[in-house]
Amino acid sequence: MSEEMKQDPGFGSSLALLDALGIGPVWVRRELAVEEIAAEQVQHQAAPALEAAAPDPAITSATPPPVPVNVVAPVARSAPAASPASPQAPAMPRRAAPVEEEGGPPSWLDEMDFAAAMEPVLIPEGDEDEEVPAVDPVIARIKTMDFPQLQQQVAGCRRCGLCEGRKNTVFGVGDEKARWLFIGEGPGRNEDQQGEPFVGPAGKLLDNMLLAMGVKRGANAYIANIVKCRPTDDNGRDRPPSPQEVASCLPYLQRQIELIQPTVLVALGKTAALSLLGLDPATPVSRLRGSVHRYQDLPLVVTYHPAYLLRTLNDKSKAWADLCLALSTYQAQAN
């Protein structure tokens, strides 16, 4: 660990948190015996293990980069209100976990008409020259719903074609008063079958990432997705949601965020980050990492999608740096 990291108060307190939880701040090498791991912990005092659920061939003992200190000012935790003007749902790229990093945007981004998906629906009213934005009555109602009403609405939702193929809607899981909100892309096969987000291999990795932060699924944490139904291609394989599917579903998540009022949002991957920030689809995740963004008045940190990390083990250290940024942001808000 570098001197710079040791000096960093945010990182120091994360280590204290990890120590207190007995997780051990080290990148655990799977082949090490417990005693060796303990010895390594004493020696290194580095980053915690973000163990992949899948077989992990790599030995990762990398020291994470210093925690950036680009932290937003504290935000008061206010009571949720019926939504004022939530931003128009921005357009979304399709599931892109394996290619969301370097090397430029994936090719499917070219197909997206990002601006068009953000356009309000215009209907003529009265004077034919005058165009008045239509108010979707369902969205207007969503903005006033409490959690049970919202969940019921999602369960019966037919706002896009994803409802045709779903087994279950995947509303979200966790503490409705959570201070941590983790947002993924959309349900996969396992999630569709169980009706709960992140229950497959990527979910196991996410649970370990949370554990490393001292956060547990269901306790002070809420996990949700950009879309509530599983997107599949013609061959029944998982695919990213289309911009229209995202636009149809995003009002539910927007209302969930208003109700939860989390202290920090963590966007898991490109789809979540771009959906929530309404950014140009060509924006690579690498450009979004390392600084604290804002979703409305709430701080938002971007990191890699766990499914991407399962395939790109070398980026786990970057993900840990992102989580340290999220932790220091959280601590700054709490103080």
The candidate with the shortest Cα–Cα distance to 248, out of 117, 130, 128, is 117
User: Which 3 state secondary structure label does DSSP give 107?
Assistant: helix
CA distance 57 to 43: 23
In this complex, which beta carbon is closest to ligand URA, that of residue 46 or of residue 150?
Answer: 150
In this complex, which beta carbon is closest to ligand URA, that of residue 184 or of residue 262?
Answer: 184
In this complex, which beta carbon is closest to ligand URA, that of residue 45 or of residue 193?
Answer: 193
- According to the binding rule CB under 6 A, does residue 186 interact with ligand URA? yes
- According to the binding rule CB under 6 A, does residue 100 interact with ligand URA? no
The interface region with ligand URA, picked from 118-126, 161-169, 184-192, 290-298 by CB under 6 A, is 184-192
Kindly tell me which residue out of 48, 64, 93, 187 binds ligand URA, with binding defined by CB under 6 A. Answer: 187
Give the contacts of 180 (CB within 8 A, at least 6 positions apart).
210, 213, 215, 220, 221, 222, 262, 263, 264, 266, 330
In this complex, which beta carbon is closest to ligand URA, that of residue 191 or of residue 258?
Answer: 191
Kindly tell me which residue out of 8, 100, 101, 185 binds ligand URA, with binding defined by CB under 6 A. Answer: 185
Task: Locate the DSSP E strands across 49-149.
Answer: 122-124, 131-133
Subset of residues 270 to 309 that bind ligand URA, contact rule: CB under 6 A: 307
CA distance 71 to 59: 32
In this complex, which beta carbon is closest to ligand URA, that of residue 13 or of residue 232?
Answer: 232
Kindly tell me which residue out of 25, 188, 243, 299 binds ligand URA, with binding defined by CB under 6 A. Answer: 188
CA distance 160 to 156: 11
- Binding mask 197-216 toward ligand URA (x if CB under 6 A, else -) reads xx---x--------------
Q: Tell me the β-bridge partners of 216.
A: 219
* CA-derived radius of gyration, the chain: 20
The interface region with ligand URA, picked from 150-158, 160-168, 195-203, 256-264 by CB under 6 A, is 195-203
Number of residues that bind ligand URA (CB under 6 A): 11
Kindly tell me which residue out of 83, 225, 254, 261 binds ligand URA, with binding defined by CB under 6 A. Answer: 225
Residue 306: CB minimum distance to ligand URA, A: 7
CA distance 289 to 100: 12
Q: What angle do CA 151, 187, 93 make, to 5 degrees?
A: 110
Edge-to-edge strand order for the sheet containing 173-174? Answer: 173-174, 221-225, 180-184, 264-268, 298-303, 293-295
List of residues contacting ligand URA (CB under 6 A): 184-188, 191, 197-198, 202, 225, 307
